[in-house]
Amino acid sequence: MQQYETTIRIHPAFSWEDIDTVLLDMDGTLLDKYFDDYFWEHFVPEVFAVANNLTVEQARGLLLDRYKKVESTLQWTDLDYWSEQLGLDIPELKCRIDHLIQVHPYVIDFLVYINTLGKKVHLVTNAHSKTLAIKLRKTSIGPYFSRIVCAEEVGEAKEQPIFWEKLEEMLGFDKKRTLLAEDTARVLHSARQYGMAQLIFVARPSSQKPVSYSPDYPSITYFNELIFS
């Protein structure tokens, strides 16, 4: 039964005429989350194991426990926090494997399209500013946004409904005429609680994992599905 549920899909059903502002997440939504998954689940444990005379499996178990304790908080994405906690230069480690940073298929086409429509387009991410800088250097997505906002600037993680209230004050959008695309269900739940009009779930955040549609939100696999008149 569970397998069947994950294959049921709610299709997006809205008109671009009803949207003024588009808010887009970065990791897993515009960029392939494989980089992040590999970095935190494999690469960091390997380096941590060498530095602390552990096996990789021991290191991975310790780190996954630490990660879980701060999920959905600003600490989880704070590279300075993890550098201090782990005794590693996390930004430098990210740069070592930055060849794995990739833009999802059709993302640039979609960004060109919604800019052509005259929409206000903002990148809104939980990613730390140092992560953002690394990824913007490796991709060509930066110029397509009117503004790029990190959660640390807002002072709350996107999983908290108050995040969206503060973001509205910063950007001045009408939540009833705003679309948010995101690959994290908890973030969409918080945006729905806040009252965001159009919520889109990205069902394949990592190129290395299967598509899994949301039971609660309209889902897309790639952004070409939102290029319509």
What are the residues whose beta carbons fall under 8 Å from the beta carbon of 4, sequence distance 6 or more?
Answer: none
* pTM (2 d.p.): 0.95
How confident is the model at residue 6, as a pLDDT?
A: 52
Q: Which residues, 6+ apart, have CB-to-CB distance to 101 below 8 Å?
A: 31, 32, 35, 134, 135, 138, 139
Give which of 156, 6, 8, 11 is closest to 74, Cα–Cα.
156
The string of pLDDT tens digits covering residues 147-183 is 999 999 999 999 999 999 999 999 999 999 999 999 9
Q: What percent helix, strand, coil does the chain show, rounded to 5?
A: 50, 15, 35
| Per-residue pLDDT, 3 | 39
**180, 123 Cβ separation under 8 angstroms:** no
- Choosing from 18, 109, 174, 216, the catalytic residue is 18
Per-residue pLDDT, 8: 82
> Tell me, what CATH number does 18's domain have?
3.40.50.1000
Supply 84's token pair: 């201090």
Residues 87 and 128 in one domain: no
Structural domain including 10 reads: 2-33+101-226
Nearest CA-CA partner of 103 in 165, 160, 195, 29: 29
Examine the domain organization and report whether 194 and 108 are in the same domain.
yes
More confident residue, 166 or 4: 166
Q: Total structural domains in the chain? A: 2
In the prediction, which pLDDT does 229 show?
73
pLDDT of residue 104: 98
Q: Is 18 a catalytic residue?
A: yes
